Amino acid sequence: MRERAAVAAWRAGLAVVLLGGWQYAARVGAIDPFFLSRPSDIAERIWMWVSSAMLWRHLAVTLEESVLGLVIGGILGVATGFVLARSPFAARVLEPYIMMLNAVPRVVLAPLFLLWFGLGIWSKVALAVTLVFFVMFFSAYQGVREANRVIIDNVRMLGATERQLVRHVLFPSALTWIFSSLQVSLGFAMVGAVVGEYLGATRGLGYMISQAEGTFDTTGVFAGMFVLSMVVVSASAGVSRLERWLLRWKG
């Protein structure tokens, strides 16, 4: 308990020192606010966005794209991971292809997706899916392969069919792995959505940031970045709580 309080105090202190130092340096002219803005301006800008409802409109679009990317990429990744973990032959056949696809830098895909799916949300969703898919795929694949052999035999002896085996053993056992990668996937889904918006969109946080950059508005860029990271941090906290509840059996 005391350690937790100390950690919180140090965290707050660190924020004060960093932001205060930044503010002070900008004030005495050690750094040029044109290039680096300053905390007070950024806070003011965020407040302006929040109060004018402009932020919510753009944030809602980005969140929608991220959630769709996370869900679609997650389901596809987990399903593929399960299927390949259960059929080693197919896994060996597909291994080089999966490696190759995973090696493609996603940013170069973004313009292609714009071409294929248009300027709307689906090109961003597609980009998020390509990022999330592989993370979820690898963890589900690993999770199923690492499932305890003895527990599998036990459940088969108790009368499980292949489907019951998946439901009662393989899925819960893969869940640990899937959750540990969900944090990463969540960040990736946001990155996919924002990069997609950044490269071509009419709405979304990425669009806001790119508009700000287009007018050398560093305050707008930093404000967008701050909002983005706050969203990811709070979503991660939600996932952690869900994880603690679902994995409560670990005792």
**Chain residues that interact with other proteins, rule: CB under 8 A:** 150-151, 153-161, 164, 168-169, 172-173, 175, 247-251
Largest CA distance in the chain: 75
Rounded Cα distance, 43 and 126, in Å: 33
Rounded Cα distance, 70 and 180, in Å: 14
H helices of 105-170, in order, are: 106-117, 121-145, 149-157, 162-165
Query: In the bound complex, what is the minimum distance in angstroms from residue 173's beta carbon to other proteins?
Result: 8
Nearer to other proteins, 33 or 172 (CB): 172
Query: In the bound complex, what is the minimum distance in angstroms from residue 148's beta carbon to other proteins?
Result: 8
Query: In the bound complex, what is the minimum distance in angstroms from residue 4's beta carbon to other proteins?
Result: 24
Nearer to other proteins, 97 or 245 (CB): 245
Length of the chain (residues): 251
Query: In the bound complex, what is the minimum distance in angstroms from residue 88's beta carbon to other proteins?
Result: 16
Vertex 147: Cα angle to 251 and 182 (nearest 5): 70
Nearer to other proteins, 1 or 150 (CB): 150
Nearer to other proteins, 88 or 111 (CB): 88
Query: In the bound complex, what is the minimum distance in angstroms from residue 161's beta carbon to other proteins?
Result: 8
Going by C-alpha positions, the residue among 42, 62, 18 that lies closest to residue 194 is 62
Rounded Cα distance, 23 and 38, in Å: 6
Rounded Cα distance, 128 and 122, in Å: 10
Nearer to other proteins, 11 or 167 (CB): 167
Query: In the bound complex, what is the minimum distance in angstroms from residue 249's beta carbon to other proteins?
Result: 4
Rounded Cα distance, 81 and 79, in Å: 5
Nearer to other proteins, 120 or 172 (CB): 172
**Which sign does the torsion angle of CA 222, 224, 230, 232 carry?**
negative
